[in-house]
Amino acid sequence: MVRIVDVREITLPISRYADPTIASGGLTTSLVAVVTDVMRSGAPVVGYGFASIGRFGQGGLIRERFAPRLIAAETLTTDTGDGLDPQRAWSAMMQGEKPGGHGERCVAVGTLDMAIWDAAAKIAGQPLYMHIAERMAAAAPPSRVRVYAGGGYRYPSDDLKRLADEIRYCTDLGITHAKIKIGVNVDEDMKRIEAAAAILGGPSHLAVDAMNLYGPGDAMRIARALAPLELMWFEDICDPLDFKTLASVAASYPHPIAAGEALFSRAEAKLLDNYGGLRPSQDILLFDATHSYGLTHYFEIVAEMVERGWPRSAFWPHGGHLFSLHVVAALGLGGAELNPLAFAPFQGTPPSLGIEDGFIELPQAPGIGFELHDEAYRAFRRLLD
């Protein structure tokens, strides 16, 4: 029988900027180590996970609610009896939980779920994307996936110069597309777009993220201003649940819209599809697998939306870290976000993963491969040392 015998958690500050002196709003994330009773080379197999980006740490929920249920589970063994079953682990965590009220518990569960999948793949001796594909009896996944650079936050001084430096750094890595933030006023936004697009080779290689700032009137005005640019996509236009405004923009904005980053369940995905006015032929779905109760529930979101007519190429998971690369490859999704400079210790990727023409190679180590990322692995080792 496979059991989880210990769960350890710490909360760390993370910044939107590579420069730690720039204030970043006190953002945090949770790191977890899930210790199994399976031994490899004289040591227990440990899975690592973290709470992705943007929702703050989840330590209280993890320690008081979900980790104890994992440890109390008598067995989490696969039906074949030779591995760790993430679905059984997920069911144990969600025991007694009522439908609805997704709030922050979805992130706490997703953090642990990431670590459980890491441990399951390590026990199987496979990179996570290969392990997922094998469990799903899917076609052999690709060994590299398409990526774009996330970031592009507004700098408190020398904004245009520092933004240009950031985009240039990304293109030097081999990245061909990027995303920047907008939302102050149209004139300033257009200057940022012009500065970034000039380095990327045109606006079609640039996405813009309004971070859910616009109300109905402003959303329509900025959409009209952006329409002639033919951007890669226009992201997070209004409040995540303001489906009326989103649908109004989608009815008149001719180019791709991206949404779903701040929706965390299959039920919310269905609401977006029913009332958001999005167009499966061109729009983008950004659901974060970690924030959506983990990969175990994200499978259901993808299946639901595909059944409703959405192509897998429409999915570009939010997050910008190693875990998302595995998810995209295993499920045959459109591509993944990378954060080359932001959100240490998870910024960038291991140097062993080459990037060329906007595609990145997948880690070949068992599990997610956090052990290949020096800074991230040092943070995780703090849980055990």
In sequence order, what DSSP letters do the residues of 135-146 get, joined into one string?
Answer: HTTPPPPPSEEE
State the catalytic residue, choosing from 179, 291, 297, 318.
318
| 177 catalytically annotated | no
| 318 catalytically annotated | yes
In 3D space, the residue among 108, 98, 93 whose CA is nearest the CA of residue 61 turns out to be 108
State the catalytic residue, choosing from 181, 205, 255, 373.
181
Q: Are strands 4-13 and 28-40 parallel, antiparallel or unpaired?
A: antiparallel
Query: 104 among the known binding-site residues?
Result: no
CA distance 159 to 329: 35
In 3D space, the residue among 326, 323, 348, 361 whose CA is nearest the CA of residue 31 turns out to be 323
CA distance 168 to 367: 32
Query: 357 among the known binding-site residues?
Result: no
In 3D space, the residue among 257, 262, 172 whose CA is nearest the CA of residue 208 turns out to be 257
Q: Kindly state the helix (H) or strand (E) to which residue 226 belongs, with its residue range.
A: helix 216-226
CA distance 181 to 220: 17
CA distance 275 to 240: 12
**How many secondary structure helices (H) and strands (E) does the chain include?**
13, 12
Query: 209 among the known binding-site residues?
Result: yes
- Exposure string for 100-130, b = 16+ CB within 10 A, e = fewer: eebebbbbbbbbbbbbbbbbbbbbbebbbbb
Side-chain-side CA neighbours of 319 within 13 Å: the count stands at 31
CA distance 360 to 366: 18
The residues annotated with a catalytic role in the active site are: 181, 318
Residues contributing to the annotated binding site for Mg(2+): 209, 235, 261
